[in-house]
Structure 1
C-alpha cells in the first residue's frame, strides 16, 4: 500500500511530539476565508488524513484580519487559511503571524513562493484567481459589458453589487486594482460614478455573484472563479475579464502568532500545500488555480494566461500604510455617499 507524501509528513510531525502532547492536543483552530463548502471539505479531509479535529470558523478576509488583530497577544486561532493575500501581508508586517518555511515550498508556483518571500515567510500562496465580474444573461441581453468603463452605463442603475472593501478581500483587490490601472484620484472618481449603479455593498466578496445568479442584481463584481461556480451550478452567469486589464489575488495561508496548537498548525500548513489537499477545492466547486505545481488545475478555472493581468504590486498594496489609507479614503468618499 502506498503512503502519500502529506500523510507521511503529518505522521512524522506527530511522531516528534511528546506522548503527553499527542494525548492532550489533537485539535486545530482554523480561521477559514474561502467559501463555506470548501472550508468544510478541507477541514474534513484534514481530519481524515491526520486524526486532528478542526474547529473551523468561516469569515471574510477583512473580518478575519480584524479578529486576529483584536486577539493580538491572546490568540484563539492557529491557522488563517485562504482569502486574498493583501490582508495576510498586512498581518505579517504587523507581526501577527509566524515565520515558517515548509518543506513543500519547492513544489509551489513562483507566485506562491514570491508571496512567502515578500512576507518574510509569514504567509504563503495557496491559490490564485483573477478579478472580474459576471452578469445574468437573462437580464443583460444586448451590448453586454466587457470593460470596467461599461459598468458606468446608466442602464445598470441600482443593478450592480460589489462587496465593501473593509470586510471583503475581493473588493479591496478591486480597489487596489483600479488605483493601479487608473491612478488613485481617477480610481476614486470612477468609484463615485459607479456608486449610482450599486444597489448594495455586501459583506462577503462572493455574495454579489450569488445575487446575480438569482436575478436580485444584473451584475456582480467578483473573482472570476466565483462567477464560474454559479455557471457550473446552472445559473445564467457569463464571466467577464475586463478589457482594460485586471488584478488578481494570491490566496494565502498564515500561522497565527502564539496560537494555542502550534504543532498541529504546522501539520495543517504542510498538508495544505500538498497537491492532493489542493485538489479538494474542485470537489467543493471552487475553481481557483492551485499553487502546488503537481496539483491538477480544475478545467473550469479561468486561464490566467488568457487574461490581461496587471503587474499587481502585492508588497505595496498589502502594506499597513497603503491598505489603511485606501480603506479610510473609501469610507470617506464612497462609503459615506447616500443611497
Structure 2
C-alpha cells in the first residue's frame, strides 16, 4: 500500500498539481534560507499559493541547484530558479533551460542587471568586500585591490572561500575576464606564494577573520553584516582600486516547468521593489537595484558604491577556466 501511495504521489507531481489540489509552485533557491524563507512565506500568505522550496547547502552554494536543473532537463521539477549569483544563471539560459519572464516583471530594474532576452533578471545584490580583523588594522593597511592580498605583510593571513562554489568563483571569473588569462594565473600564483587560506564558504572565511586566524577575508557584504548585527566586532572594506563588484540575486523561469502560471506570479512578486526593500533592511543588507526602491538607514545604495559595469556573458564564459585554474593553483598541494 505504501508503494502505491508513493506511485500516486509521483503521478500527481508529473501532472503538475499538488496532492491536495491546491495551487503550488516549486522554487530552487540558493539565497541564504534564513533570509529567503521569510520572503517566500510572505508570498504564500499574500497569494495562497503554496511554495515548495528546495535550498542549496552552504558548502555547494549555487552549483548544486544549477546541476540539478540540468539533470532534470527532460522532466523539470523546478518552476522558479532563485540563484544567489548571476553567472551560472547566464550559463543555464544559454543552454536553453529558461523561458522568458513576464514583460512586466522587474520593470524598475535597469538593463545592466538583466538578460537582453528577458530570460533572467537580477535583484537584491551584495557587494564583494573584505572582512577585516579589527586588531590587524594597526599592523597592515586594508587592501583596496586583489593584488594587495599578496602583500608579504599578509603572509598566511588572508582567506578566501572555496572558488569552486558560490560568489568566489564568480568573482574570479570576472577578474579573469578583466585581467586576461596570463595575468589572472599570475595573480593566483602570487596568492599561493603568500600562503592564502581557503575556507569552505564565505561565512567560514568571515569566521576565520573573527577568530583572528586570518586578518583579511574576501567575502560578501551580507556575510559581514549578519554577524555585525549580533554584536560581533569586525570591519569591512571594499576593493575600490579594482572597482566594486556587485553580484545580484537572479530570478528565472524554468522552461517546461509543472506550474507555469504560478511560476510567473512568484517571479513577478519577487522582482517588486518592496521585496528588495525588505531584503535591504534585513540582516543580509542586500543592495536594491530597482530605481524606485528606498535605501534603508544604514543600508548600501548603488550610487554610494559606484559598481563597475560587468559583461555577464563574457564573465560567464570565463567561469569554468577560472575555477579550474584556481583549483589547480590554490587547492592542490
Shorter-normalised TM range: 0.7 to 0.9
Q: 1:66: which partner in 2?
A: 67
- 1:330 alignment counterpart: 326
Q: Give 2:162's aligned residue.
A: 164
Matched, 1:138 2:142: no
Q: TM-score, normalised by structure 1?
A: 0.82
Alignment of structure 1 residues 208-223 onto 2, 5 Å: 208-223=205-220
Q: What does residue 302 of structure 1 align with?
A: 300
CA distance in 2: counterparts of 1:210 and 1:52, whole angstroms: 38
24, 45, 48: which one aligns with 1:27 = 24
Deviation at 1:214, TM superposition (A): 4.3
Matched residue, 2:105: 104
- Return the alpha-carbon distance in structure 1 between the equivalents of residues 301 and 210 of structure 2: 22
Distance 1:102 1:300 in 2: 33
Contact 2:126/2:286 (8 A) holds in 1: yes
Q: Equivalent residues in 2 for 1:56-205 (5 A)? A: 56-59=53-56, 60-112=61-113, 115-117=114-116, 120-147=117-144, 148-168=146-166, 170-195=167-192, 196-202=194-200, 204-205=201-202
**What SS does the corresponding residue of 2:43 show, helix, strand or coil?**
helix
Aligned-pair distance for 1:324? 2.3
Q: Distance in 1 between matches of 2:156 and 2:54?
A: 32
Asked if 2 retains the 8 angstrom alpha-carbon contact of 1:279 and 1:295, the reply is: yes
**C-alpha distance after superposition, 1:66-98 (max 9, x if no partner):** 221222212222211141111111110011112
> Which residue number corresponds to residue 254 of structure 2?
256
- 2:287 pairs, out of 267, 286, 289, with 289
Q: Give the aligned CA root-mean-square deviation in angstroms.
A: 2.5
Helix, strand or coil at the partner of 1:134:
strand
Q: Distance in 1 between matches of 2:270 and 2:119?
A: 15
CA 1:63 to 1:227, structure 2 compared with 1: closer, same or farther past 3 Å?
same
Q: Which runs of 5+ in 1 are unaligned?
A: 1-19
Structure 2: state its 5+ residue gaps: 1-16
Distance 1:157 1:143 in 2: 11
The change in CA–CA distance for 1:236 and 1:141 in structure 2 (over 3 A counts) is: farther
Write the distance in 1 (CA, Å) between the matches of 2:18 and 2:54.
24
Distance 2:308 2:231 in 1: 31
In structure 2, the residue matched to 1:53 is: 50
- Deviation digits for residues 176-214 of structure 1 (CA, Å, limit 9, x no counterpart): 232244332112211122134333242x34432244234
The two structures have a TM-score, normalised by structure 2, of: 0.83
